[in-house]
């Protein structure tokens, strides 16, 4: 599938960097969850010092090109950019992507010190959170044992994020440090978390989210009903993707629903509709991501609760939706969808994609650690759970957030683990 981001040239990047107002106390940096020294990297780029630019970003976020592509900059750094009031904000995300991809092309790699500790720390999950722990500890000479149940490294960005938003080659290049710096990857699913916690001085849980939520309505098991993450993974894979022809309806309102709709179009769907149970203001998908879907020609329908999948010849023939109206806020603070009696609508389609979120896997509960609102409860500064020496971060703790948030969690945990190792 084609790369959705056209390549940029150095001339453009230097000109864009030169528009930066070099604020005394840059608001963009406060908007960056990773706290990247944006002013420093832009200043380095302006003077064509690529090495300086990339290391300024890597100090806070090792996934330079990846986050340049997938971070919701419009909701974070660029939203706070002072240039916004004057003209358009500086294209910080695109500049970061440019720096990251040029660094890959020019082979500008992190130089790691000789290992000084090995086999003392276990990291479960090679997603952004676990990899951040591995990277920032390796920079200090600590080599972790990395446990990953999948063949591919990278977690969701490595398998599920559409390759037209994040080409595999970009992520693979940013993860090459694992093999190159001698971090052992144990390709196994950790089942006995207690045994692991007893064997290592520190354990980090970066297991992400678990099982995709199903739909409990008649017809939900029909042929032609797909889970979004499985479909996205399939579409990214080596084997030929399915070819679709007729219309597709995507059920859900998050970023996964948007990605699934874009993939459905690329698989050949004649029309794609996203039906979301709540109102537009409640939709969790980022605004810029929603805009992307609209530009692709996807139709968005709000306040539609799925009540059935229609069948013809044993396959999907449509979805039945019930219109709803916004009610009182629920525990998440968002207005509930209250179905309107007798107000039904049927949309004919050949495929239905379920993008209804994921539930957490519960293996970590066997550790007896305290639970927070989503996953394990952690100290937000150290990411340590209620059991000393056991840390957690990323989607497992947040219930589903961003790549950059997972990196921040991993970096914080790495700092705390270093202190723990020093004290022992």
Ligand X SMILES: Cc1cc2nc3c(=O)[nH]c(=O)nc-3n(C[C@H](O)[C@H](O)[C@H](O)COP(=O)(O)OP(=O)(O)OC[C@H]3O[C@@H](n4cnc5c(N)ncnc54)[C@H](O)[C@@H]3O)c2cc1C
Q: Enumerate binding residues for ligand X (CB under 6 A).
A: 70-71, 124-130, 147-150, 155-157, 160-161, 189-190, 206-209, 229, 232, 255-256, 259, 363, 394-396, 401-404, 406
CB closer to ligand X out of 203 and 317: 203
CB of 34 to ligand X, least distance (A): 11
Say if residues 319 and 352 touch (Cβ distance below 8 Å).
Answer: yes
Contacts of 366 (CB under 8 A, 6+ apart): 192, 193, 194
CB closer to ligand X out of 120 and 148: 148
CB of 355 to ligand X, least distance (A): 8
> What are 358's strand-pairing partners?
212
CB closer to ligand X out of 255 and 269: 255
Overall residue count recorded for the chain in this entry:
424
Residue in 106, 112, 146 with CA at minimum distance from that of residue 130:
146
Residue in 93, 174, 60 with CA at minimum distance from that of residue 409:
60
CB of 254 to ligand X, least distance (A): 8
Say if residues 210 and 125 touch (Cβ distance below 8 Å).
Answer: no
CB of 247 to ligand X, least distance (A): 21
CB of 209 to ligand X, least distance (A): 6
CB of 347 to ligand X, least distance (A): 22
**Tokens 């970066």 -> residue:** 206
CB closer to ligand X out of 87 and 151: 151
Contacts of 292 (CB under 8 A, 6+ apart): 4, 258, 262
CB closer to ligand X out of 165 and 315: 165
CA distance 360 to 358: 7
CB closer to ligand X out of 34 and 335: 34
Half-sphere exposure of 43 (CA within 13 A, CB side): 10
> Other C-beta atoms within 10 Å of 359: how many?
12
CB closer to ligand X out of 125 and 318: 125
CB closer to ligand X out of 166 and 303: 166
CB of 372 to ligand X, least distance (A): 14
Q: In the chain, how long is the greatest CA-to-CA distance?
A: 69
CA distance 316 to 351: 6
Which is it for the CA torsion 380, 385, 391, 392, positive or negative?
negative
CB closer to ligand X out of 76 and 104: 76
Strand segments (E) across 90-136: 117-124
SS3 per residue for 13-50:
HHHHHHCCCCCCCCHHHHHCCCCCCHHHHHHHHHCCCH
CA distance 291 to 269: 19
CB of 255 to ligand X, least distance (A): 5
CB closer to ligand X out of 322 and 398: 398
CB of 133 to ligand X, least distance (A): 10
CB of 328 to ligand X, least distance (A): 29
> Other C-beta atoms within 10 Å of 48: how many?
12
Which run of H or of E encompasses 315? strand 315-329
Outline where 237-328 has alpha helix (H): 255-266, 287-296
């Amino acid at each position: 599938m084609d790369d959705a981001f056209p390549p940029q040239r150095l001339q453009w990047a230097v000109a864009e960097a030169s528009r930066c107002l070099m604020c005394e106390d840059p608001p963009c940096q406060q908007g960056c969850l990773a706290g990247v020294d944006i002013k420093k990297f832009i200043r380095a780029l302006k003077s064509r010092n690529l090495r300086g630019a990339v290391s300024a970003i890597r100090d806070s976020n090792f996934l330079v090109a990846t986050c340049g592509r997938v971070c919701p900059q419009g909701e974070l750094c660029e939203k706070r950019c002072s240039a916004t009031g004057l003209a358009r904000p500086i294209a910080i995300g695109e500049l970061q992507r440019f720096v990251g991809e040029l660094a890959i092309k020019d082979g500008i790699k992190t130089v790691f010190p000789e290992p000084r500790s090995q086999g003392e720390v276990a990291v479960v999950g090679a997603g952004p959170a676990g990899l951040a722990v591995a990277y920032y500890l390796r920079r200090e000479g600590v080599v972790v044992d990395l446990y990953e149940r999948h063949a591919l490294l990278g977690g969701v960005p490595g398998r599920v994020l559409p390759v037209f938003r994040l080409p595999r080659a970009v992520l693979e290049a940013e993860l090459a440090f694992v093999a190159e710096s001698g971090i052992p990857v144990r390709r196994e699913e950790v089942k006995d978390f207690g045994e692991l916690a007893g064997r290592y001085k520190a354990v980090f849980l970066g297991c992400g989210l678990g099982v995709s939520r199903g739909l409990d309505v008649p017809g939900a098991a029909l042929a032609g009903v797909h889970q979004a993450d499985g479909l996205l993974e399939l579409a990214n894979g080596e084997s030929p993707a399915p070819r679709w022809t007729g219309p597709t309806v995507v059920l859900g309102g998050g970023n996964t629903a948007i990605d699934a709709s874009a993939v459905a179009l690329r698989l050949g769907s004649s029309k794609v509709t996203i039906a979301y149970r709540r109102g537009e203001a409640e939709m969790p998908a980022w605004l810029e991501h929603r805009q992307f879907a609209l530009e692709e020609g996807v139709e968005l329908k709000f306040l539609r609760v799925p009540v059935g999948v229609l069948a013809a010849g044993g396959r999907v023939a449509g979805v039945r939706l019930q219109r709803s109206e916004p009610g009182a806020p629920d525990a998440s603070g968002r207005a509930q969808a209250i179905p309107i009696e007798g107000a039904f609508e049927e949309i004919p389609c050949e495929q239905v994609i379920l993008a209804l979120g994921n539930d957490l896997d519960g293996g970590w509960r066997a550790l007896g650690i305290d639970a927070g609102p989503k996953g394990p409860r952690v100290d937000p500064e150290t990411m340590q759970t209620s059991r000393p020496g056991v840390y957690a971060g990323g989607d497992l703790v947040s219930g589903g957030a961003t790549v950059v948030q997972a990196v921040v969690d991993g970096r914080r945990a790495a700092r705390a683990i270093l202190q723990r190792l020093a004290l022992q």
